[in-house]
Amino acid sequence: MTVDAQLTRLGLFDARVPRYTSYPTAPHFGTSVGPQDFTAWTRAIPAGSEISLYMHVPFCRRLCWFCACRTQGTTSDDPVIAYAQVLKAEIALLARHLPKGVRLSRLHWGGGTPTMLPPAEIRALTAAIFAMAPMAEGGEFSVEIDPNEIDDARLDALAEAGMNRASIGVQDFDPEIQKAIGRDQPYALTQEIADAIRARGVRSLNADILYGLPHQTPQRIAESVQKLLTLGPDRVALYGYAHVPWMSKRQQLIPSDSLPTPEERLRLFETARDLFIADGYEAIGIDHFALPADGLARARATGGLRRNFQGYTDDAATALIGIGASSISRFPQGYAQNAPATAAHTRAIREGRFSTTKGHAFAGEDLLRARIIEVLMCDFRADGPALAAQFGVDPGWLSGLFATVAAKFEGMLDFEHGVLTIPPRAHPLTRMIARAFDAYDQAGARHSAAI
Ligand SMILES: C[S@@+](CC[C@H](N)C(=O)[O-])C[C@H]1O[C@@H](n2cnc3c(N)ncnc32)[C@H](O)[C@@H]1O
Ligand code: SF4
């Protein structure tokens, strides 16, 4: 049987599985976690330790049709400026609970489009954040930048505040594909912004590119990847386009019959992957590529690769606090998510309380299963005896669990001496294999696309 036929038989091309940026995944969060948990978990962070901070800005000047992110369109700066005041109030509230001497190993601004913030607000927010918790030595301040929504003044403000990693959204350079996904972005503009970022001494440039877009062919994605390579990004995320029009209404503007078939998606991914590898990038997990000197490549080599809400990371901090509407925090005790709607989040902060509406407190096998899923997604390998010792569970029981999953995937996985390995031919199945360890998942639940 060909590998494709085997992948088909194992359901790769008709399954919808989560990307496992958390375990349990956000759809399984419940309302038993509230602001009191967020406060208690924040207060329990050890004084003087390093944490990560994520800030969500849910605004965009234009709404790209393909986008499934939590954001809203606005042509005026007023709602963004009003939201920045809420963020500052939230930072002041957080500062009252955060133990002394905490520093930031990572600060990430995402969205939406954080560069919707005017320069004065960029300065005010970074000042407030660093007054609460300064950057740790070697820390990273990264910002998602839409090349269509940035100018010299905003870039200057970000660079002066210490941004040392910029992540630009590319998606695809082909004009016909851009038209079909409602995102006009000439190559020349992207190049100009990449140059402007580097001219300000920003150490690292990341780019997002998508496969599985309407009208995409292997030849077209190859051309887009080659154009992207001329910009020399340090790190690339090659995401599979998730077509979820029932969740993201604007995707209804993209007819389903213009999309490549699941088998074609796999070819598109492989075409792009082979070009990155040929150009000296290392494959990181299921969908990232990084130059050997990049932090992700180094973390992969030393077993330090982790997974969080932004995808892959080399951040070792055990607490990640999310501020802004819909942001999710992760603590050693569990997850806490802020109110998804900007209005509800704003109301809570103005009333002087955190907006936590949902979450999950870790219990039972959660942390063990979370770690199995994380190592499979990061290293394609789970060492049963080591995990059993780390989590204090019976190695025989864990070995039985691994054997059951290995059997389910009909010889596609290697299982020897208690170590479960996903060989390269089975890498496209990684999310499905991770799902086999997900005790909350109901097969067939609607998440994002499989690959
Ligand atoms: C939250 S967006 C922020 C980027 C920034 N606003 C921009 O447009 O450049 C981050 C990334 O999510 C990815 N993304 C958004 N919608 C997606 C979808 N439906 N499927 C897969 N990836 C998606 C895109 O690659 C995008 O660059
Ligand atoms: S891709 Fe970026 S700019 Fe476009 S709608 Fe999504 S967050 Fe906004």
Instruction: Write out the chain's pLDDT in tens, 451 residues.
Output: 677 777 777 777 666 789 999 999 999 999 999 999 999 999 999 999 999 999 999 999 999 999 999 899 999 999 999 999 999 999 999 999 999 999 999 999 999 999 999 999 999 999 999 999 999 999 999 999 999 999 999 999 999 999 999 999 999 999 999 999 999 999 999 999 999 999 999 999 999 999 999 999 999 999 999 999 999 999 999 999 999 999 899 999 999 999 999 899 999 999 999 999 999 999 999 999 999 999 999 999 999 999 998 899 999 999 999 999 999 999 999 999 999 999 999 999 999 999 999 999 999 999 999 999 999 999 999 999 999 999 999 999 999 999 999 999 988 999 999 999 999 999 999 999 999 999 998 644 444 433 3
C-alpha pair distances (Å), 200 with each of 37, 150, 169: 41, 14, 19
Question: Would you state the structure tokens that stand for residue 282, as one six-digit string?
Answer: 């290392």
Number of Cα atoms under 13 Å in the Cβ half of residue 145: 29
Paired residues of 51 in beta bridges: 104
Give pLDDT, residue 15. 66
How big is the chain, counted in residues? 451
Q: Is 68 in the pocket of ligand 1 (CB under 6 A)?
A: yes
Q: How far apart are the C-alpha atoms of 377 and 379, rounded to whole Å?
A: 6
Q: Is 337 in the pocket of ligand 2 (CB under 6 A)?
A: no
Cα 45 to ligand 2 centre (Å): 33
Q: Is 24 in the pocket of ligand 2 (CB under 6 A)?
A: no
Closest residue to atom 10 of ligand 1, CA basis? 169
Under a CB-based contact definition with an 8 Å cutoff, are residues 328 and 26 in contact? yes
Cα 443 to ligand 2 centre (Å): 30
Nearest-Å Rg of the Cα atoms of the chain is 21
Cα 112 to ligand 2 centre (Å): 6
Give pLDDT, residue 445. 43
Give pLDDT, residue 281. 98
Give pLDDT, residue 443. 47
Q: Is 209 in the pocket of ligand 1 (CB under 6 A)?
A: no
Q: How far apart are the C-alpha atoms of 198 and 302, rounded to whole Å?
A: 28
Closest residue to atom 27 of ligand 1, CA basis? 169
Q: How far apart are the C-alpha atoms of 318 and 320, rounded to whole Å?
A: 7
Give pLDDT, residue 442. 63
Give pLDDT, residue 245. 93
Taking the chain, what is the end-to-end CA distance rounded to the nearest angstrom?
Answer: 21
C-alpha pair distances (Å), 185 with each of 174, 234, 339, 361: 9, 21, 32, 42
Closest CA to 66 of 337, 251, 299, 320: 251
Cα 170 to ligand 1 centre (Å): 9
Ligand 1: atom nearest CA of 243 is 19
Q: Is 208 in the pocket of ligand 1 (CB under 6 A)?
A: yes
Cα 108 to ligand 1 centre (Å): 15
Q: Is 116 in the pocket of ligand 2 (CB under 6 A)?
A: no
Closest residue to atom 3 of ligand 2, CA basis? 60
Closest CA to 65 of 251, 191, 275: 251
Q: Is 210 in the pocket of ligand 1 (CB under 6 A)?
A: yes
Paired residues of 325 in beta bridges: none
Opening angle at CA 357, ends 356 and 359, nearest 5: 85
Q: Is 181 in the pocket of ligand 1 (CB under 6 A)?
A: no
Closest residue to atom 7 of ligand 1, CA basis? 146
Q: Is 110 in the pocket of ligand 2 (CB under 6 A)?
A: no
Give pLDDT, residue 14. 62
Place of tokens 């990449």: 194
Closest residue to atom 8 of ligand 1, CA basis? 146
Q: Give Cβ neighbours of residue 325 (< 8 Å, ≥ 6 apart).
A: 56, 58, 70, 338, 339, 340, 341, 342, 344, 345, 346, 355
Ligand 2: atom nearest CA of 112 is 7
Q: Give Cβ neighbours of residue 16 (< 8 Å, ≥ 6 apart).
A: 444, 445, 446, 447, 448, 449, 450
103, containing H or E segment = strand 103-111
Interstrand relation of 381-383 and 414-416 (parallel, antiparallel or unpaired):
unpaired
Under a CB-based contact definition with an 8 Å cutoff, are residues 271 and 248 in contact? no
Closest residue to atom 16 of ligand 1, CA basis? 67
What number of other Cβ atoms are within 10 A of residue 329's Cβ? 26
Q: How far apart are the C-alpha atoms of 164 and 108, rounded to whole Å?
A: 11
Q: Is 64 in the pocket of ligand 2 (CB under 6 A)?
A: yes
Give pLDDT, residue 446. 42
Q: Is 69 in the pocket of ligand 2 (CB under 6 A)?
A: yes
| Residue-wise DSSP of 241-280 | P---TTT-GGGGGS-GGGSPPHHHHHHHHHHHHHHHHHTT
Cα 318 to ligand 1 centre (Å): 26
Query: pTM for the complete prediction?
Result: 0.95
Q: Is 63 in the pocket of ligand 1 (CB under 6 A)?
A: no
Under a CB-based contact definition with an 8 Å cutoff, are residues 294 and 314 in contact? no
Give pLDDT, residue 441. 87
Q: Is 67 in the pocket of ligand 2 (CB under 6 A)?
A: yes
